[in-house]
């Protein structure tokens, strides 16, 4: 996948300025792009990340989770939203809401995925959880509006609720059919 078109360069420059973590990976989960915020959180320079996988850059238990999510995106071609704990190389722990979406060319050939992660308050925080529920409901509504079958929407819903921490605590489900109806 070539990222360096004029439009791509402008987009990547904009992504570099956001405080959200943004990345693009190929179908083998190698990083093609990582924005400045993501690189800072990893404690790495861009040249240390591009072409590598999470197995080369992150703790094994984190890399396994990231790879499992990406494998699901590639297999189903459905986006996922996850709440996950992240640990910086300096030991800082925080939670992120991560959205991973497949990238295809105009012929429908899978090229890779784009990921966007945002630091969130403690997932037990009501406001933080409410924000995530709104994001999930919006994603489900948009997916249903694009002709996804009920089983596809259900598969996405099931994938959305991830372990928050090592104790495998889960967020409560928020899926309700009325959320899929147009406003």
The predicted-structure confidence for 43-66, as pLDDT tens digits, reads as follows 999 999 999 999 999 888 889 989
Domains of the chain with bracketed CATH = 6-180 (3.30.450.20)
104-110: average pLDDT: 86
CA distances from 109 to 7, 74, 114 (A): 20, 11, 15
State the pLDDT at residue 176.
35
- 65-93: pLDDT as tens digits: 899 999 999 999 988 888 777 888 788 88
Better-predicted residue by pLDDT, 94 or 72: 72
Better-predicted residue by pLDDT, 97 or 154: 97
């Amino acid at each position: 996948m070539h990222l360096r078109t004029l439009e791509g360069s402008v987009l990547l420059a904009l992504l570099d300025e956001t405080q959200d973590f943004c990345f693009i990976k190929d179908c083998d989960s190698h990083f093609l792009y990582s924005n400045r915020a993501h690189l800072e959180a990893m404690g790495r320079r861009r040249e240390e990340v591009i072409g590598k996988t999470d197995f080369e850059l992150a703790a094994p238990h984190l890399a396994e989770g990231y790879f499992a999510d990406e494998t699901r995106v590639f297999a189903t071609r459905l986006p996922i939203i996850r709440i996950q704990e992240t640990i910086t190389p300096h030991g800082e722990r925080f939670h992120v809401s991560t959205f991973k979406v497949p990238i295809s060319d105009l012929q429908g050939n899978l090229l890779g995925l784009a990921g966007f992660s945002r630091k969130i308050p403690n997932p037990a925080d009501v406001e933080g959880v409410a924000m995530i529920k709104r994001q999930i409901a919006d994603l489900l509504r948009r997916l249903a509006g694009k002709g996804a079958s009920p089983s596809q929407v259900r598969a996405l819903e099931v994938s959305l609720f991830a372990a928050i921490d090592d104790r495998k605590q889960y967020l409560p489900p928020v899926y309700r059919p009325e959320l899929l109806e147009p406003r």
